[in-house]
Amino acid sequence: MILGLDISTSITGYTILDNKGSVVDCAHIDLRKHKNFFQKVLRVEETLKGVATEYHIDQIYIEQSLQSFRSGFSSAQTLSLLSKMNGVVSWLCYNIFDREPQYLAATSARKSCGIKVPRGQKAKAVVLNFLLDTELAFEVEYTRHGNPKPGYYDRADSLIIARAGWLNERKEA
């Protein structure tokens, strides 16, 4: 089985695919109420240990953390915190599953899955719509204003990371 992770300090998405590439589980860990970095990490660890008791994970794919600044996006402090979280969760994965995680850039993962983000459109919305159109097991809950509830973009990103990892493995086989 494959575990795909979209790591963040606010909401972390995770997806588990079986060896045929079917979605077994797709969920998120809401970390927003935890103000302390270490409480957030403990919550992720607790969830990953639960995954380990329920599933035999063979491969782990993690969305690569941002490496550079882009106008209008994250500050140096935010990038640093994301990298720290990514590193700690990577270590947790290695420790819990006894597997070294592999990292995939979001753009490469989307490309592997056949997703093209038109200029001017938000990648997260394009990914969500792609999955709603192509993945029967993927469902989204909406707010009363018609927006996806928190966590569903993270689930979608983790599914794309897992699917890209699964596709990469099939190419190598």
Burial class of residue 35 in the structure, from the number of CB atoms within 10 Å of its CB (0-12 exposed, 13-18 middle, 19+ buried): exposed
Instruction: Provide the number of structural domains found in the chain.
Output: 1
**pLDDT at site 173:** 62
Cα 45–Cα 110–Cα 68 angle in degrees, nearest 5: 70
Q: In terms of Cα–Cα distance, which of 39, 36, 35, 46 is closest to 14?
A: 46
Instruction: Give the domain CATH number at 118.
Output: 3.30.420.10
- Dihedral (CA of 88, 89, 92, 94) sign: negative
**pLDDT at site 65:** 73
Distances (CA, A) of 127 to 1, 78, 146, 172: 22, 23, 17, 25
Helix/strand/coil for 47: helix
**pLDDT at site 66:** 59
| Other CB atoms within 10 Å distance of the CB of residue 107 | 12
Mean pLDDT by 10 residues, the chain (173 residues): 94 95 95 93 96 96 70 63 88 96 94 91 91 90 94 95 93 72
**pLDDT at site 69:** 46
**Residue numbers of the domain that contains 38:** 2-172
Strand order in the sheet with 102-104: 23-30, 11-17, 2-6, 59-63, 102-104
**pLDDT at site 170:** 84
**pLDDT at site 106:** 92
